[in-house]
Copies of this chain bind each other. A is one copy, B any other.
Amino acid sequence: MTTGLSLNFASDNVEGASPGVMEALLRANAGPAPAYGTDAWTKRVEARFAELFEHEVAVFPVATGTAANALALAAAVSPWGSCLCHVESHVADDECGAPEFFSHGAKLIGLAGTGCKLDAAEVERVLDRLPDHVKQMPAQAVSLSQATECGLVYGQDEIAAIGALCRSRGLALHMDGARFANALVRLGASPAEMTWKAGIDILSFGATKNGCLAAEAVIVFSPRLAESLAYRRKRGGHTFSKSRFLAAQLEGYLDADAWLAHARHANAMAARLSGGLARLPGARLAWPTESNAVFAILPRAIDRAIAAAGALYHPWSPRFLPEGIRVGEDETLVRFVTSFATRPEAVDLLLATAASEKW
A79 lies within 8 A of chain B by Cβ: yes
Let me know if A105 and B100 touch, CB within 8 A. yes
Give A26-37 as 1s and 0s: 1 = Cβ < 8 Å from B's Cβ atoms: 101111111110
Q: Whole-angstrom distance between the alpha carbons of A10 and B38 in the complex? A: 13
Give the nearest-CB partner of A110 in chain B: B110
* Residue from A33, A134, A232 having most chain B Cβ neighbours under 10 A: A134
A187 smallest CB distance to B (angstroms): 25
8 Å CB interface, A64-81 against B: 64-68, 70-71, 78-80
**Chain B residues near A65 (CB-CB < 8 A):** 241
Let me know if A96 and B34 touch, CB within 8 A. no
In the complex, which of the residues B32, B95, B238 contacts A15, with contact meaning CB atoms closer than 8 Å? B32
Q: Whole-angstrom distance between the alpha carbons of A241 and B339 in the complex? A: 14
Interface of A is mostly: loop
Q: Whole-angstrom distance between the alpha carbons of A57 and B269 in the complex? A: 42
Q: Whole-angstrom distance between the alpha carbons of A242 and B249 in the complex? A: 14
A182 lies within 8 A of chain B by Cβ: no
A196 lies within 8 A of chain B by Cβ: no
A14 lies within 8 A of chain B by Cβ: yes
In the complex, which of the residues B6, B32, B240 contacts A214, with contact meaning CB atoms closer than 8 Å? B240
Let me know if B237 and A64 touch, CB within 8 A. yes
Let me know if B214 and A242 touch, CB within 8 A. yes
8 Å CB interface, A86-135 against B: 93-98, 100-107, 134-135
Give A42-68 as 1s and 0s: 1 = Cβ < 8 Å from B's Cβ atoms: 000000000000000000001111111
Let me know if B98 and A235 touch, CB within 8 A. yes
Let me know if A28 and B11 touch, CB within 8 A. no
A134 in contact with B242 given A15-B32, A96-B80, A105-B104 (CB within 8 Å) = no
Number of interface residues of A (CB under 8 A): 73
Let me know if A237 and B100 touch, CB within 8 A. no
Let me know if A8 and B29 touch, CB within 8 A. no
A230 lies within 8 A of chain B by Cβ: yes
A8 in contact with B26 given A208-B242, A235-B97, A242-B214 (CB within 8 Å) = no
A22 lies within 8 A of chain B by Cβ: yes
Q: Whole-angstrom distance between the alpha carbons of A104 and B238 in the complex? A: 17
Q: Whole-angstrom distance between the alpha carbons of A135 and B92 in the complex? A: 10
A245 lies within 8 A of chain B by Cβ: yes
Give the nearest-CB partner of A319 in chain B: B129
A135 in contact with B13 given A26-B22, A100-B105 (CB within 8 Å) = no
A170 smallest CB distance to B (angstroms): 14
* Residue from A67, A96, A238 having most chain B Cβ neighbours under 10 A: A96
- 8 inter-chain pairs at a CB distance below 8 angstroms, sorted by A residue, are A8-B32, A17-B242, A79-B97, A97-B106, A97-B235, A100-B106, A134-B231, A138-B231
Q: In the complex, given contacts A16-B242, A96-B134, what are 14 additional A-B residue pairs having Cβ atoms less than 8 angstroms apart?
A: A6-B31, A16-B245, A17-B245, A36-B134, A62-B237, A63-B214, A66-B235, A98-B236, A100-B107, A101-B104, A134-B230, A134-B239, A137-B231, A214-B241
Lowest 7 A-B CB distances belong to which pairs? A67-B237, A100-B105, A13-B241, A16-B29, A80-B231, A8-B32, A14-B32
Which residues does A use to contact B, with CB under 8 Å? 6, 8, 10-11, 13-17, 22, 25-26, 28-36, 62-68, 70-71, 78-80, 93-98, 100-107, 134-138, 208-209, 213-214, 228, 230-232, 234-242, 244-246, 341
